[in-house]
Chains A and B, each alone.
Chain A
Amino acid sequence: MSKIRTQLMLCGGTACHSRGTSAVRETLEKELDRRGLAEEIQLIETGCNGFCAVGPVMLVQPDEIFYQKLKPKHIPHLVEEHFLKGRPVEKLFYAESASKETIPNMENIPFFAHQMLWAMRNKGLIDPEVIDDYIARDGYFAAAKALQEMTPEQIIREMRISQIRGRGGAGFPTGLKWDFARRSPGDVKYVLCNADEGDPGAFMDRSILEADPHAVLEGMIIAARAISAHQGYIYCRTEYPLAIRRLNIAITQAKEYGLLGKDILGTGFDFDIEIYEGAGAFVCGEETALMRSIEGKRGMPRPRPPFPALRGLWEKPTILNNVETLANVPQIMLNGGDWYASVGTETSKGTKVFALSGDVRNIGLVEVPMGISLRTIIFDIGGGIPKKKKFKAVQLGGPSGGCIPEQHLDIPVDYEAIAKVGAIMGSGGMIVMDETTCMVDMARFFMDFVQDESCGKCTPCREGTRRLLDILKRICDGKGRPEDIEDMKELSHVIKESALCGLGQTGPNPVLSTLRYFEDEYEAHIYEKRCPAKRCVALLKFEIDPDICTKCGLCSKVCPTEAVTWKKKTVARIDKEKCIKCLSCFGKCKFGAIF
């Protein structure tokens, strides 16, 4: 054991970095040095801790004290009090938002208490840029086992027993996919890792790559052994610079140790990995488009079959797995398929990582066992909806997914159960929406995204999503027509039936799923020219309801154009000639008197 008595695990994920981890780190180093503690106290920058909402966060070990929202100005006090004098600083603890009660230990914070860390087992525990840290946590022992003790058939058998399904969204059984590729004839095969995470609000893969890049590399080595491939590619979007940097470091270190390259661990097995940076086109997350992109062509899907397991990259048998799926593989090899299958529901086993965002208190990354209810994730782990607003719906699965309203919140996290209520498990983006969200506007946002990202190869997707967007825009502008709802339904079904790839086939889902649960909002927009959530500016009248107005006058004070007139003890008035619809008064009125 070294002289170190305390380790400071400072979160260095992208979210915490954007909130100032670098500055905190610098100040910490300076202060520790100034106090002569640099030898006793070690500062380690880890990957994403998951609790992004309160970042930058730091866990002090072995005390297990969790500090949040750190700023450089806090550091001198913190170093003197806690690290020198041993008195934890309470004002930097996490505080329960309802009771204001502070919780010093990480394991007692509700956000962490309900989680089950398998794919993210090393998050916040290791320095992702130090391979020895990963090895200390059993890293590369699964690869050693797979290469030395197991045949490809045995590896695939374990994968099939585990019943793990693809975590990228579609949920295809991974073991089966590998089996197809193994059986495909050919000497040259490829293992690909899909790190082209593109759904709005999704950041699971990025966080895993930033926190534990070696787990993904190890998963790929095992996959390569299972199908006898000798070359792998990680397709990662270029917008993830930190993930790419850490992957590059990890690959270099693994090569130095001979864990990648020729004759891995002296077993005679060769496998190498390269990173391919994608330019951020959403469609390149689709498997056939992704492969074309690696080949150097324009990223467009092609019809399947033939499936990639038969003819994939450069027409050779290929498997493509999501980051999260691969991060689970080493654990399945070490602990066995039965262990993995012991958690979850009948058809969905193991754990799932979700990126919780939107109108929820504890924004961040959570890993939960399959079968847990959505309500537990949003209200217990997520801490519920802030600002005393009411829950309206949760959007799962990005643009291809759908939204789930309050009445279905008790369904378990399970591929089939989620599909039954009109959404998809997806890659794990979970966007919570409160009552101030307009569902028509939300559908418009996602349709804008799909339309923008459509590659243009097939007509239904290229033209159809464009027309859907036009109709949605018109409805939001208050020019909706009575036939719009039926037209959208018909058009959506045509697109679903005829589009070439997954992006197009699921493209109309935002419209269909909002229509399924919130058709009344569409009707209010179209027939009454009214936006119930008061989000669509074109539908706001900018008038003040005298019954609700408390005559406080705040609206008139914020108005930049003096359009709001108010005298003491009178209801304010808005002069529509002067009003520029900036919504300032709207945001200020606590009572919702402006409509």
Chain B
Amino acid sequence: MAKLSIQDLKKIKEDAAKDMVIRGGKGNIKIIVHMGTCGIAAGAREVMATLMEEMNEANRQDIRVVAAGCTGMCSSEPNVTVEVEGEEPIVYQQMDRNRMRQVFKRHVLKGEVQTDFALARG
């Protein structure tokens, strides 16, 4: 490995800091994938995997992905809740790969609530 200059040091900091975001600081958008037994049976793992792919592509530091339990409406699983700071949380129902991509690209990144498959507010 070649010796670092101060510019290299800054570069390393920026790269490494990306992986560290999860450990500190708060995001202002939280995406909750409901992963109860029912959710997983209905395909929540796939939804989560898709979400992580999208996250990877978007490269945003202020979004947190959290797994949570069943919301109680097992028939509408997989559920995903999107919480944007200062706005009402939106619960989406019967998610799959395509719907997840759409919600991420439109709602999370652009702020357009996808009413077609929204289940409820909060």
Residues of chain A having any CB pair with chain B under 8 Å: 1-7, 9, 36, 40, 61-63, 82-87, 125-126, 132-133, 135-141, 144, 148, 256-259, 263, 265-266
- Measured CA separation A135–B18 after assembly (Å): 12
- Bound-state CA distance A5–B44 (Å) is 15
**Chain B residues whose CB sits within 8 angstroms of the CB of A141 once the complex forms:** 9, 13
Interchain CB contact under 8 A, B23 and A9: yes
A residues in contact with B17, CB < 8 Å:
136
Given contacts A86-B68, A133-B16, A135-B13, 11 further A-B contacts (CB under 8 A): A5-B67, A7-B22, A40-B48, A85-B39, A85-B67, A86-B69, A132-B16, A136-B16, A136-B19, A141-B13, A258-B2
Residues from chain B with Cβ under 8 Å of A125 in the complex: 20, 23-24
Q: List 9 A-B contacts (CB under 8 A).
A: A1-B55, A5-B48, A5-B66, A62-B66, A83-B67, A86-B67, A136-B19, A137-B20, A266-B3
List the 5 closest A-B pairs by CB distance, nearest first.
Answer: A258-B3, A86-B67, A136-B16, A86-B68, A132-B16
Contact segment of B57-65, B83-91, B95-103, B108-116: B57-65
Within 8 Å by CB of B6, from A82, A138, A139, A144, lies: A144
Q: How many A-B residue pairs have CB under 8 A?
A: 113
Which B residues between 1 and 53 are near A, CB-CB below 8 angstroms? 1-6, 9, 12-13, 15-24, 27, 32-37, 39-40, 45, 48-49, 52-53
B59 cross-chain contacts in A, Cβ below 8 A: 1
Of the candidates A132, A139, A259, the one having the most CB atoms from chain B within 10 angstroms of its own CB is A132
- Write out the residue numbers on chain A whose beta carbons fall within 8 Å of the beta carbon of B24: 61, 125
Decide if A144 touches B55 in the complex (CB within 8 Å).
no
Contact: B18 with A1, CB < 8 Å?
yes
Closest to A262 in B: B3
B13 and A87: CB pair below 8 A?
Answer: no
Which of B4, B16, B68 has a CB less than 8 Å from the CB of A258?
Answer: B4
A3 engages B55 (CB within 8 Å)? yes
Cross-chain contact B4 with A1 (CB below 8 angstroms): no
User: How distant is B23 from chain A, measured CB to nearest CB, in Å?
Assistant: 5
Q: Are B9 and A136 in contact (CB under 8 A)?
A: no
Q: Total interface residues on B, using CB and 8 Å?
A: 46
Most buried by A among B1, B20, B53: B20
In Å, the complex CA distance between A40 and B51 comes to 11
Contact present for B27 and A85 (CB under 8 Å): no
Would A257 and B60 be within 8 Å (CB), given that A3-B53, A7-B23, A136-B13 are in contact?
no
Contact across chains for A1 and B3 when beta carbons are under 8 A apart: no
What residue of chain A has the Cβ atom nearest to residue B60's Cβ?
Answer: A1
From known contacts A1-B56, A62-B27, infer whether A257 and B22 are also in contact, taking CB-CB under 8 Å.
no
| Residues on the B chain within 8 Å of A132, using CB | 12, 15-16
Enumerate chain A residues within 8 angstroms of B70, measured Cβ to Cβ.
Answer: 85
Q: Is the CB of A3 within 8 A of B20?
A: no
Query: In chain A, what residue has the closest Cβ to B57?
Result: A1
A258 to B9 alpha-carbon distance, docked (Å): 11
**Minimum Cβ distance to chain B for residue A404 (Å):** 36
Q: Is B40 in contact with A3, judged by CB distance below 8 angstroms?
A: no
B51 closest partner in A (C-beta): A5
A3-B5 in contact given A61-B23, A85-B67 (Cβ < 8 Å): no
CA distance A87 to B72 in the complex (A): 13
- What chain B residues lie within 8 Å of A259 (beta carbons)? 4
**B67→A84 contact, CB < 8 A:** yes
- Cα–Cα, bound, A303→B58 (Å): 65
Take A2-B56, A266-B6 as given contacts and tell me if A85 and B69 are in contact as well, using a CB distance cutoff of 8 Å. yes
Write the chain A residue with the least CB distance to B15: A132
- Whether A62 touches B22, Cβ cut-off 8 Å, given contacts A1-B60, A84-B35, A136-B17, is yes
Q: Return B85 CB to nearest CB of chain A, in Å.
A: 14
Give min CB distance, A435 to chain B, whole Å.
42
Shortest C-beta distance, A63 to chain B (Å), equals: 6
Flag if B16 contacts A85 (CB, 8 Å): no
Taken together as a complex, chains A and B put the C-alpha atoms of A84 and B45 apart, in Å, by 9
Which partner residue on chain B sits nearest A130 by CB separation?
B16
